[in-house]
Amino acid sequence: MSHAVETAGLYDCRDAWVKTLVDLAAHDPRIVAVVNDSVGSSKLGAFQKAYPDRLINVGIAEQVMVGVGAGLANGGQVPFVSAASCFLTGRALEQVKADVAYAGFNVKLVGQSSGVAYAELGPTHHSIEDFAWLRPLKNITVIVPADPWEVEQAIRWAAAHEGPVYIRLSRMPVPALNISDRVFTPGRATLARQGQDLTIIACGTITHLAMTAADELAAEGIQARVLNMHTINPLDEDAIDAAAKTGAIVTAEEAHLRGGLGGAVAEYTASHRPVPVERLGFDGFQPTGDMAYLFERSGLTVAGIKAAAHRALGRK
Amino acid sequence: MQNDTLKNDRGPLIRQKALWMRRTAFTMVHRAKMGHPGGDFSATDILATLYFGVLRHDPARPTWADRDRFIMSKGHASGAIYTALCAAGYFPEDWLPTYMQNDSPLNGHPNRNYVPGVETNTGPLGHGFPVAVGIAIAGALQGRDYRTYVLTGDGEQQEGSNWEAAMVAAHKRLKNLTLIIDRNRLQQGASTEETSSLDPLDQKYAAFGFDVQIVDGHDIGALLAALTAHSDKPRCIIANTVKGKGVSFMENVAKWHHGVPNDAEYAQAMAELV
């Protein structure tokens, strides 16, 4: 499947994740993976094959999975705790809070199949609340890579960084972003397109849609700036200050409308830079449907982002 | 033989430290008008035995990679862990009067970033055992010979995360891991058996794959022997204890879970703890 999507110009970001982790593990014996019977869904087969002793499978048990991650960090390892993000952040939230964030252990949490990647499986398997749950845990760096390049950068940075990190991955095929002179710096948004009429702030799987929407808006004579806000925590407040100066902001994310990227931008602008903000995301539990249907009904499409841009411009 | 002599020699020291710990912890609770003295006292002899007779540790190097680890999963018994760490030399005695005061390092529940010697932050129950499993796995991976001990309350065993941890520990045959259960038979409101019964706890842990031993949790000699024993499986020591041990009016009385003494009760306790 991965090969098929790559020949279509689309990538399953899990391939970049495991390739990078295997590569890092070859040079750093502290790196281990911790999973909840999620070797397949985390695509960790290659890691398991290369380092069978360093793949710790605790079974279907998320609380002990995250606790074990903290303990491994106490023992000097660098654990990458990888599981479906709905269970990693939901089932084990108290362990994430107390054992990882509050205790401040050097644990890397890797949320797989985030957002609505498990579309038809329903809200129990969607992970759209994770940003809202993790953002108050201020010492966890929350990174949402948008394409394979960014996945590799994020994993490499996390391995070298001393402190808790949450990296939110998807299995949804995405294109490689066409951004020139790209540099990945956690906490600093990437300028994906320059523009001065309004700013579209997106992350993860939605970023490429925002870039296409901006291209189409340009054909209408509207110059939309696009920020790839790959880090939700800490938030790039300087970039938001600059975005506010364009007079209107649209946020777009594969996450809940409450408490995520849009919430963070609205909190900041309301306090420091009042400006119209149109937020795109999911407004609660989603009905049965495939990913395209769920994205469509919440405006997470090129057309939906353009419509939000017009609404935002109308409020300037 | 030499080991036995050493153990015998340690008894008086451990008992002396335990007495100081009880008096000091109760003084902290009396001063702060907060705390969990009942559970402090049921665990005191176990902690004194660990820190003064069992653990390979160096208070001058709290992050020494080869140290034995002790995890205080029943973090609400902070009077016990703080007095043990202070007695062992991890921090100065002048910290103790700040217990639970504004900006004190001695929070109501232990924080490893505030207090040297605290291995992980605890408070919500059922967290320490999974973390201890991770520490034991790290030791096995690295070929280090440190041992990991974790103390949970008995009521705490009602948290399901403990049983997730038990499955992993047994499956991986973590022989470097010892779970100690402070079996005082009381949780905050009533007895464990009235609330959600735990017995037969020994058979449960044996069935999970642990080498189980039941000891008197106030018998220093028995604790020394149990805590230094080895097995080819993870160990579970069920320490039968008395909540409020050492003070007549507190022993086996549930309200002393987080009871605070008035001045007369404090004076009586100090008169008994000699």
Burial class (CB in 10 A: 0-12, 13-18, 19+), A162: exposed
Task: Name the residue in chain B with its Cα closest to that of A59.
Answer: B168
User: Considering only CB atoms, which chain B residues are within 8 Å of A164?
Assistant: none
Separation in Å, CA of A112 to nearest CA in chain B: 22
Chain length of chain B: 274
Calpha distance A26→A22 (Å, rounded):
6
Give the Cβ contact number of residue B10 at 10 Å.
19
Chain length of chain A: 316
Q: Do A70 and B65 touch (CB under 8 A)?
A: no
In this predicted structure, what is the pLDDT of residue A65?
98
What is the residue range of A41's domain? Answer: 2-168
pLDDT in tens, A10-45: 999 999 999 999 999 999 999 999 999 999 989 999
Identify the bridge partners of residue A107 per DSSP, sorted by sequence position: none
Separation in Å, CA of A162 to nearest CA in chain B: 15
- Domain identity same for A163 and A194: no
What is the CATH number for A16?
Answer: 3.40.50.970
Residues of B with CB under 8 A from a CB of A: 65, 69, 111-113, 119-124, 126-127, 129-139, 141-142, 144, 160-161, 164-165, 167-168, 171
In 3-state terms, what secondary structure has residue B214?
strand
DSSP state of B158: G
Q: Do B120 and A72 touch (CB under 8 A)?
A: no
Q: Do B119 and A94 touch (CB under 8 A)?
A: no
pLDDT in tens, A106-163: 999 999 999 999 999 999 999 999 999 999 999 999 999 999 999 999 999 999 999 9
Q: Do B168 and A102 touch (CB under 8 A)?
A: no
> What is the total count of domains within chain A?
2
Cβ atoms A110, A140 nearer than 8 A: no
User: Considering only CB atoms, which chain B residues are within 8 Å of A31?
Assistant: none
In this predicted structure, what is the pLDDT of residue B9?
83
From the list B262, B263, B267, the residue with the least C-alpha distance to B247 is B267
Give alpha helix (H) positions in chain B. Answer: 2-32, 37-49, 78-88, 128-142, 161-171, 192-196, 201-208, 220-228, 263-272
User: Considering only CB atoms, which chain B residues are within 8 Å of A58?
Assistant: 164, 168
pLDDT for residue A1 is more than 90: no
- Domain identity same for A156 and A40: yes
Largest CA distance in chain A: 58
**Average pLDDT along chain B, 274 residues, taken 10 residues at a time:** 59 97 98 96 98 98 98 98 98 98 98 98 98 98 98 98 98 98 95 96 98 98 97 98 98 94 98 98
Residue type, A248: A
Identify the bridge partners of residue B235 per DSSP, sorted by sequence position: B178, B211
What is the CATH number for A272?
Answer: 3.40.50.920
- Domain identity same for A115 and A259: no
Task: Name the residue in chain A with its Cα closest to that of B113.
Answer: A103
Separation in Å, CA of A59 to nearest CA in chain B: 8
Task: Name the residue in chain B with its Cα closest to that of A69.
Answer: B134
Residue type, B175: K
Angle between helices A13-27 and A148-160 (to 10 degrees): 30
Residue A4: band (very low, low, confident or very high) from pLDDT cuts 50, 70, 90: very low
Calpha distance A215→A276 (Å, rounded):
22
In 3-state terms, what secondary structure has residue B48?
helix
More confident residue, B9 or A1: B9
ipTM of the complex: 0.95
Separation in Å, CA of B253 to nearest CA in chain A: 30
Task: Name the residue in chain B with its Cα closest to that of A53.
Answer: B141
User: Considering only CB atoms, which chain A residues are within 8 Å of B165?
Assistant: 64, 67
| A208 located within any domain | yes
DSSP state of A188: B
- Domain identity same for A197 and A305: yes
* Structural domains in chain B, sorted by start: 2-272 (3.40.50.970)
User: Considering only CB atoms, which chain B residues are within 8 Å of A79?
Assistant: 134
| A152 located within any domain | yes
User: Considering only CB atoms, which chain A residues are within 8 Å of B147?
Assistant: none
The pTM of this model reads 0.96
Which strand (E) or helix (H) includes residue B33? none
DSSP state of B74: S
Query: Which residue among B124, B134, B167 sits closest to A71, beta carbon to beta carbon?
Result: B134
In this predicted structure, what is the pLDDT of residue A6?
54
Domain-ending residue, one of A118, A136, A168? A168
Q: Do B138 and A72 touch (CB under 8 A)?
A: yes
Domain-ending residue, one of A168, A199, A220? A168
Q: Do A95 and B130 touch (CB under 8 A)?
A: yes
In this predicted structure, what is the pLDDT of residue B6?
55
User: Considering only CB atoms, which chain A residues are within 8 Å of B171?
Assistant: 59
- Domain identity same for A158 and A82: yes
